Structure 1
């Protein structure tokens, strides 16, 4: 075992959108001597594979604490986009064209959703097939009706990751790549650092933001007590000669996300296959069929890219964010499943609130819910 000379005030394990956002927020709040450890390449796992949708009113149960948390994080994006442009010169392409959720059959489910959301105060419009055709002429004429969310947006997640990494590099935050950790070191009830295959790195505070790989980490040789399962999501992309849609389009079978560079992303599968990231012919064909059903003009278009990512999923499909009971100076920010891009800004703020300002963080999705400790839930 080689002992490194590195020791950090704040050591963040995991270099995806969550880990990088936390590193930036800690630095902006006065934290220094910050390190980020990434098992592979920074920002090239689930965060890179995402579509960049910011859709709390589609992804989260209405009226829940989680929905409120998602909404608060979404509302931070305009300021975040402006700040990152000023800090790094990188435009993260926040697109506020809105999001359609469409029905291609005659059931009443969308109307039921609309009624519940109106009652809950969600800004949503029930739109007819003719209104949809006026707004998005390329949408299939078989569409029956839809919901339109003006305040559900999207961002170019790969440029967001580029901006976050650039911020770290410009501000002396050290990034270590190809460095998977094996275990957390514990001394006198406190995390003293992390062990890799050939080194130990000391830390005053450790943040676990390792996504789908969280459960592989050991604490003093024992299994990590929170189970995070990888869920594979496969996607494809077209790049048609002309812009066919301007808003994000959801249906029960999938979604289309138009990007500023002309690509249309199509997603996504949800597969329990362990850490297998293979892109399958079956999935590509199904995604192609979904895209053509929603936008017939894509029939015959070339698929210019296909990829997959591993979403970190907990048993209840909610994230794990907050202080880790039983271990001083250990904080967790993982399990964001389908909402890592959406939740990155607020996750970073509440982690920094705790580590910099000593503000207690005890939401219903804190780590203690898996460890038999009752938490108070309020946002």
Structure 2
């Protein structure tokens, strides 16, 4: 029997597994499909909330801690797996920001480099950006990561670790419990005995916890994105305008996103969303109008009431834990949120105050 069973093979589940294995523990990771193929694959990979000054302090604290860990993590995974997650720290331009004063106040408070720059500065760095801007907000330290490659690198690393067992194509359907302990997880291939269980099921986490009488307020929120096959250099940095964004990759491809749709677990794409995303992207970088749309997809974010994830023990069950509900910021917050939970599991000094993320007082129990 493994020391830990992790349910869900997205970036949260895989980073949790990696940290527990690094600490010398045996871990079995269950994923009903293929690791890293849900929201972690579908997102854009910006290593920051889109407008960070509009988020609450608990999210900002997780984000600030996480951002500084991605360069090291990307280098480690490249060295250990030869899969390059393509972490790029090229900065981000915010165009047409209507709460600029609030943004600058936030930057001063948290010590984040953010400045108002002129049109000349903007177009010197991004000549293809939307014409006619009088200036922009510029965050030079912001990075992005190619999330499909990040998840592939994480999976490759975990598959090579002797203490890790990956069980893909195995769905966890519920839990067996005796008193205040979970004794096994019920899977599509039969029960598996459990010592400690961690639910990292993203948009599916609520259904799993309902099995033990916990009403976790996490729901699927669909997001659609498109990918342009663009020449290298058309856009070199993340550019954000009117709530939509473009994200360049090292090979020239450009992602554009994203929609916010309450559609349950439906992941179908729509022509209306494609047209809307195309219109937004070509307003941000007009040259994209001449580029082929190579791919169009949808993913399901784990939406939560205020975007603050649920991290910690399930009330009333001493060996069942949760890390879910990151909404639009799962990749952004993953290093900090997983480290925080692993600190709790292993009795270490936590990197942050865990109180704002705990389930007590935030979930209903039956």
Q: TM-score range by the shorter chain?
A: over 0.9
Question: Aligned residue for 1:370?
Answer: 362
Give the TM-score taking structure 1 as reference length: 0.90
Structure 2 distance, partners of 1:80, 1:357, is 23
1:248 aligns with 2:238: yes
- Alignment equivalent of 2:83, drawn from 86, 90, 99: 90
8 Å CA contact retained: 1:217, 1:223: no
- Alignment equivalent of 2:180, drawn from 173, 186, 189: 189
Question: Aligned residue for 1:204?
Answer: 195
Q: Deviations over 1:138-188 (max 9, x none)?
A: 012122321111122101111111111111110131111222212121112
Question: Aligned residue for 1:136?
Answer: 126
1:22 aligns with 2:22: no
Structure 2 distance, partners of 1:218, 1:119, is 38
Structure 1 distance, partners of 2:33, 2:364, is 33
Question: Aligned residue for 1:38?
Answer: 31
Cα offset for 1:86? Answer: 2.4
Structure 1 distance, partners of 2:50, 2:40, is 20
- Counterpart of 1:370 in 2: which secondary structure? coil
1:160 aligns with 2:150: yes
8 Å CA contact retained: 1:60, 1:66: no
- Alignment equivalent of 1:227, drawn from 198, 213, 217: 217
Question: Aligned residue for 1:174?
Answer: 165
Task: Return closer, same or farther for 1:366/1:243 CA change in 2, 3 Å cut-off.
Answer: same
8 Å CA contact retained: 1:110, 1:146: no
- Alignment equivalent of 2:4, drawn from 3, 10, 14: 10
Cα offset for 1:31? Answer: 1.0
Structure 2 distance, partners of 1:226, 1:213, is 10
Question: Aligned residue for 2:43?
Answer: 50
Q: Deviations over 1:260-305 (max 9, x none)?
A: 1211000000000000001100000000000111111111321001
- Alignment equivalent of 2:73, drawn from 77, 80, 88: 80
8 Å CA contact retained: 2:81, 2:156: yes
Cα offset for 1:69? Answer: 1.5
8 Å CA contact retained: 2:214, 2:363: no
Cα offset for 1:63? Answer: 6.8
Task: Return closer, same or farther for 1:56/1:271 CA change in 2, 3 Å cut-off.
Answer: closer
Question: Aligned residue for 1:301?
Answer: 291
Q: Deviations over 1:63-112 (max 9, x none)?
A: 71320221001111122122222222222111000111111xxx753244
Structure 1 distance, partners of 2:109, 2:67, is 21
Question: Aligned residue for 2:346?
Answer: 356
- Counterpart of 1:186 in 2: which secondary structure? strand
Question: Aligned residue for 2:309?
Answer: 319
8 Å CA contact retained: 2:53, 2:103: no
Structure 2 distance, partners of 1:112, 1:57, is 14
Structure 1 distance, partners of 2:348, 2:74, is 27
Mind listing any 5+ residue stretches in structure 1 that lack a counterpart? 1-6, 374-379
- Counterpart of 1:241 in 2: which secondary structure? coil
8 Å CA contact retained: 1:184, 1:191: yes
Structure 2 distance, partners of 1:155, 1:223, is 37
- Counterpart of 2:3 in 1: which secondary structure? strand
Cα offset for 1:199? Answer: 0.8
Aligned residues: 362
Structure 1 distance, partners of 2:63, 2:231, is 35
8 Å CA contact retained: 2:3, 2:195: yes
Q: Deviations over 1:348-375 (max 9, x none)?
A: 21222122235577321222231379xx
8 Å CA contact retained: 2:46, 2:144: yes
Task: Return closer, same or farther for 1:185/1:159 CA change in 2, 3 Å cut-off.
Answer: same
